[in-house]
A and B are shown apart, each in its own frame.
Chain A
Amino acid sequence: MGAIPFRRTDQPVSQPSLWSLSKKLLRSVYRSYIFRVTVQGILTLWVVTTCTFYMIRKMPNNPIEVKIDEFQTKQNLTYEEARSKVAGLFDYDPDAPFIEQYTDYMGNLVQGDLGRSITTGRTPVSQQIAKYLPWTLFAVGLGLLISFVIGMIAGAAMAYWRGTVFDNVMTAFASISYGIPDFVIAFMILLIGGIQLELFQVGDYIGSVDPEIKAGFNPEYIRSLLQHVLLPVTTYVLASVGGWMLTMKSSTISTLGEDYITVAHARGLSQRRILFGYVGRNAMLPLMTRLAISVGFVLSGSIIIEYIFIYPGLGKYLFEMTGKRDYTTIQGIFLVTSAAVVISNILADLLYGVLDPRVRVGSK
């Protein structure tokens, strides 16, 4: 075939061109935003894991000691008896060298294995997290969503009717909501609503779902689920809606002053189109980034709120496991929550580019 001599003569030229092509590709990969951010994220997670690994193991008392204490006080065993009993229960050797523990853990982690929980019968940590995470996601996510939507609408309305009685009342409410810490709201709901005014039976609303109701997609279960999530979600909404309202108000006010809004009025566009297409869209931009960032902190939830309402979420679980010194579980929860923060930060950056065409044009 005629192609063979052609190829043979061309070879010394095509070789470097292929090389330079791949070099070019590599360079563009290296320069690309996604690549850099991913490497940065992985590095951050590695440092987080290493630091927490070191820190956690420096805590006074290890899981064995805590359990021995518990046995000694609860079952009146001597130290030796308790020790042998615990050694049979736990799959953890506190005397193993630190480096060895670290390399073991990292080796498993690279393969996607978070290890096994020390104190809760050797269940895999990933399984434990999968068990508690949905609760937190449900409560905090729902709270975040509701407060975000209410905050956006109310904030925009406050900016539109600024200076009126409506605006003043709402701003006062938003300042109070923003100023008061969430656990204060939680206690007020419980103590004033539940105990003093007896609006509801506290016992029915705290804790997890009734154990008697079978889990599944049936109306009773869903009703019970919603009933128990009501108080935490109300707390989250009341505590965070003020911040969203104030941010949205100031963002909308600054958008209303822009030249293109005046131009849109001058062009005789309908009020509705200006509000939704011009003001709303632009005022929302800075809030979307904040939303994406706060989604990252959804996972860590609110330890205090979950603790007050005895809600079976990840935050309360982390608190319990810290008390028991369950190293692998604490480690796993930290890794997952930090990863969520890293990922949501990246997403926030990307999202901004998608939502705001000006950023996209500017970066090119």
Chain B
Amino acid sequence: MGFLIVVATIPGLVIGLLCGLVPLGVGLRHQQLKWGIVGLVLCALAGFSFSLIGGFIMLVFTTAVVISYAFVDREDPFTSRASIEAVNFEESQLEFLMRQMAALGRTIRQSVRALIRNKAGFLGFIGILFFVGISVFGPLFVEYDGDTHVERLQPGARTLFQKPSSEFILGLDWKGRDIFSHMVHGGQNLIITSIEAGLIATLVAVVVGAMAAMIGGVVDQILSAIANFILTIPQFPLLLVLASILSFSNRFYLALLFAALSWPALMRAVRAQVLSLRERDYVQAAVALDLGLPHIIIREVLPNLMSYIVVNMIFSIRSAMYYIVGLVFLGLVPLEEPDWGVMIYVGRQQGAIFNSDGASMILSPVIAIALFQLSLILFTRSLEEVFNPRLRSGL
């Protein structure tokens, strides 16, 4: 299990509702009731699924959006027709906050519009939401069925496997357990581990790649040599051997291992991008002004890399999921039920491949994984538009 366990909880719902009062209040104050209610609902949902973290982030976002609808830029004092003495140049703290929030809100609105505009990308987004939603909210409605049910044996059948029926919509597995409940409960661990692995790999790649390109010299050579070296060894065989060495009890270490092996490809790409960005005029100007390495990387270089990085992060999450399911499927990771990968592994061990009654045990997780990965790929198209400043400003 990862360091983050996400299950919808009732206290989370309460937190979310409390958070949602803020955008609602702001909306009432500025006559934007419609958006205030939307904010309340979104906050409640986010709080419900991710408790305090989700609720708070959603609070900030939705409030910003509400403010961006209500906020009108104050008159520019320099173009004001009133006499210059009468104009107040000072901006109060509240006004400053409002202006910042409105700017953030406008960015969010543009991003959402960009997200919806690309149909394929939006479809991917809906797909991801669907699977995340099922993993988060599903356990509230579907009880986990973990016991062997011999009594469900059908007369005349030799195994407990059962084809999908109206009672069990995805059928029964080899122990007579409801496959649907396993599907609902088994995705979360896999999805979270993959996201962790993808995030860590991307983070390492970006930091190392940017460092190598900006510092250059010996550091660059050493880091590039390490990356090239790791790229030479075929990844999956290495992962296979390493996984059987370490035989993890904790999936988080698996994510770390994946990250350790998969950062080089992205790191080389980031390095090349940064090297070319470094020669641009605006970066040269920042260097000439001696703004410092952190400022140059974070303010000048990263925004232009953002869409590239985010898209690659999605790819990274996708291949992490592939590798993790592969390792589970080969039986190299301690089996923890419920899990989609374990379902494939056990299903194959128990002969579901040759038993037409049991095909559902393998097909359900396999199709779910395929759809999730497809959603990720489609989603990258929207992300490109959301994070590319040039595409976004064209809206």
Measured CB to CB, the residues of A under 8 A from B are 44, 47-48, 52, 55-56, 58-60, 175-176, 178-181, 183-184, 187-188, 190-192, 195-196, 202-203, 297, 299-300, 302-304, 307-308, 315, 318-319, 322-323, 330, 333-334, 337-338, 341-342, 345
Contact = CB atoms under 8 A, between A and B. Distances in A.
Given A56-B241, A319-B240, A191 B353 contact: yes
Interface of B: 120, 228-229, 231-234, 236-238, 240-242, 244-245, 247, 322, 325-326, 329-330, 344, 348, 353-356, 359, 362-363, 366-367, 369-370, 373-374, 376-378
A47 B242 contact: no
A338 B235 CA distance: 10
A229 B229 CA distance: 33
Interface centre among A52, A178, A191, A196 (most CB of B within 10 A): A191
B370 A180 contact: yes
Contact of A44 (B229, B247, B377): B229
Nearest to B243: A322
Nearest to A187: B366
Contact of B241 (A60, A187, A202, A330): A330
26 contacts: A52-B241, A58-B245, A59-B241, A59-B244, A60-B245, A175-B120, A175-B377, A180-B373, A183-B325, A187-B344, A187-B362, A188-B367, A195-B353, A195-B354, A202-B353, A297-B234, A300-B234, A300-B237, A303-B237, A304-B236, A334-B237, A337-B234, A338-B232, A338-B234, A341-B234, A345-B232
A304 B245 CA distance: 19
Nearest to B373: A179
A196 B358 CA distance: 10
A43 to B, nearest CB: 9
Contact of A195 (B231, B356, B376): B356
A207 B326 CA distance: 20
Contacts of B244: 59, 322-323
B253 to A, nearest CB: 15
Given A178-B377, A318-B240, A303 B330 contact: yes
B205 to A, nearest CB: 19
B376 to A, nearest CB: 8
3 closest A-B pairs by beta carbon, nearest first, are A300-B234, A179-B377, A179-B374
Given A184-B373, A334-B237, A341-B233, 9 more contacts: A56-B241, A59-B241, A175-B377, A179-B376, A183-B329, A187-B344, A188-B367, A195-B359, A308-B348
Contacts of A330: 241
B109 to A, nearest CB: 28
A99 to B, nearest CB: 20
A299 B233 CA distance: 11
Contacts of A180: 370, 373-374
A192 B228 CA distance: 41
Nearest to B376: A179
A56 B190 CA distance: 27
Contact of A333 (B228, B229, B237, B344): B237
A175 B240 contact: no
A192 B370 CA distance: 15
